[in-house]
Amino acid sequence: MRVAEQIRRIERMTSLDRTTALLRRAVEALPLGRFRDTLHGIPLGHPLHPVLVQLPIGAWVSAAVLDSMPGYERAAHRLVTAGMLAAAPAALAGAVDWSRQQQRHRRVGLVHAAANTAAVGLYALSSAARTRGRHGLGRALGLAGLTTVGVGGLLGGHIAYSLAGGASHADYLLDRLPSEWHDIGAVHEFTEGEPVHGMLGDTPIMAVRTGEDVRVLVETCGHMGGPLSRGTVRDGCVTCPWHGSTFRLTDGAVMRGPATAPQPVLEVRIRDGVVSVRRPRPVATVPRQRGETVPVDTAAGKDA
Ligand code: FES
């Protein structure tokens, strides 16, 4: 409880804002191109950073285990070095995520990064000591590095879980949508290419008309909850006004990060010019001949 309160205090430390602004500009200026989306984790469908951090942490924990046994000095040293090398891509992926988060995330993230940078520094000193044959000192510095990584991990966990920094802010809303059809208006009431905000029960939705077609998505951006109806629509996609995530209107696929999970899309039916929506049906099984069942994706069809 006291630890959590200390971390909450970091969220409110406005004294960190100048540094975060400077570093954020530096991260945004990195010439990463489309690789930035890979670092966010779009090919995985969730953030890449928590996957990559397993490598340095695994290497350093293994080094600590070997350090506790005589005769494994060389192998432990190699693991210390491997951990330092693996920390670089993990840090880069974390930095690009961090640069597109909210201020409270960025403040805690700055301290998280500082702790992990200190840990890498301790491991560099540990490696230098081991190179000089001072294995006792190398072990002690390695242990200090591992402890510091633990502090960094605690802060990273706070960002991921308490602040939901890597979670989809839209997916859970799917379960709140009604499974029955609900009319949301006539096709001609929607202005072509202009996102419209609406509520379906207590869930915000966003509708866009393209010709005689209407696409409807959960309005809350999966990245950090931005209002997609205030975004821009172009080339069959909507771009969030907060950090620029771009989703395809037809299926919610992420075309550009920082969002990594697809934006939930509602099932749409147009009958006699009236648009109705409902929660997309999951992949279901329907009976076949002789009692067999076969999976069918029932979510895609438009019942015009
Ligand atoms: S809230 Fe960050 S891109 Fe939408």
Instruction: Indicate if the pLDDT at residue 304 is higher than 70.
Output: no
Same domain, 56 and 190: no
- CA contacts within 13 A on the Cβ side of 210: 11
Last residue of a domain, one of 162, 187, 222: 162
Whether residue 301 is contained in a domain is answered as no
How many separate domains does the chain show? 2
Return the bridge partners of 199, or none: 204
Q: For residue 225, report the distance from its CA to the centre of ligand 1, in Å.
A: 6
Residue 304: inside a domain, yes or no? no
**Mutate-to-test residue for ligand 1 from 98, 163, 206, 223, highest number of ligand atoms within 8 A of CB:** 223
For residue 2, how far is its CA from the centre of ligand 1 (angstroms)?
31
What is the C-alpha separation between 42 and 244, in angstroms, rounded? Answer: 14
Distances (CA, A) of 77 to 1, 30, 69, 122: 37, 32, 13, 13
Ligand 1 lined by 226 (C-beta under 6 Å): yes
Same structural domain, 110 and 202? no
Ligand 1 site-directed mutation target among 40, 97, 99, 245, most atoms within 8 Å of CB: 245
Structure tokens at 66: 């070997």
At 280-302, the pLDDT tens digits run 887 554 444 444 433 333 333 33
| Proportion of the chain above pLDDT 90, given as a percent | 85
Residues 152 and 176 in one domain: no
- The string of DSSP codes covering 76-95 is HHHHHHHHHHHHHHHHHHHH
Whether 91 lines ligand 1, by a CB cut-off of 6 Å, is: no
Print burial letters for 268-290: b (CB count within 10 Å at least 16), e (below 16).
bbbeeeebbbbbbeeeeeeeeee
Looking at the structure, tell me whether residues 132 and 178 fall in a common domain.
no
Clarify whether residues 11 and 68 are in a common domain: yes
Give the Å distance between the CA of 84 and the centre of ligand 1: 32
The HSE-up count of residue 33 (CA atoms within 13 Å, CB side) is 0
Phi, psi of 72 (to 5 degrees): -115, 25
In a shared domain, residues 232 and 179: yes
* Chain mean pLDDT for the chain: 91
Whether residue 238 has its Cβ less than 6 Å from ligand 1: no
Cα of 222 from ligand 1 centre, angstroms: 7
Q: How far is the CA of 67 from the centre of ligand 1 (A)?
A: 44
What CATH number has the domain bearing residue 231?
A: 2.102.10.10
Please compute the mean of the pLDDT values over residues 116-122 and round it to a whole number: 98
The whole domain housing 33 covers 2-162
Same domain? For 71 and 8 the reply is yes
- The answer as to whether 303 is a domain residue is no
Each residue of 223-255: pLDDT tens digit? 999 999 999 999 999 999 999 999 999 999 999
